[in-house]
Amino acid sequence: MRVRAGVPSVGGMSDAAHQTSRDRATALVRGYVDQDRAAVG
């Protein structure tokens, strides 16, 4: 049961995980940029 339920869910979860990681990365970059701007300004 685990294997059957895991195979399709793994593909979907991996896609979602990649998307979230991208969002987190962009958020971190934006955060760093904002901090740099605040420090410079």
Q: Quick check: helix, strand or coil at residue 41?
A: coil
Residue 10, pLDDT score: 53
Q: What does the angle CA 22 – CA 14 – CA 10 come to, to the nearest 5 degrees?
A: 170
Residue 35, pLDDT score: 76
Residue 20, pLDDT score: 87
Task: Give 1-41 pLDDT, tens digit per residue.
Answer: 455 555 555 555 677 777 888 888 898 888 888 877 877 76
Length of the chain: 41
Residue 4, pLDDT score: 55
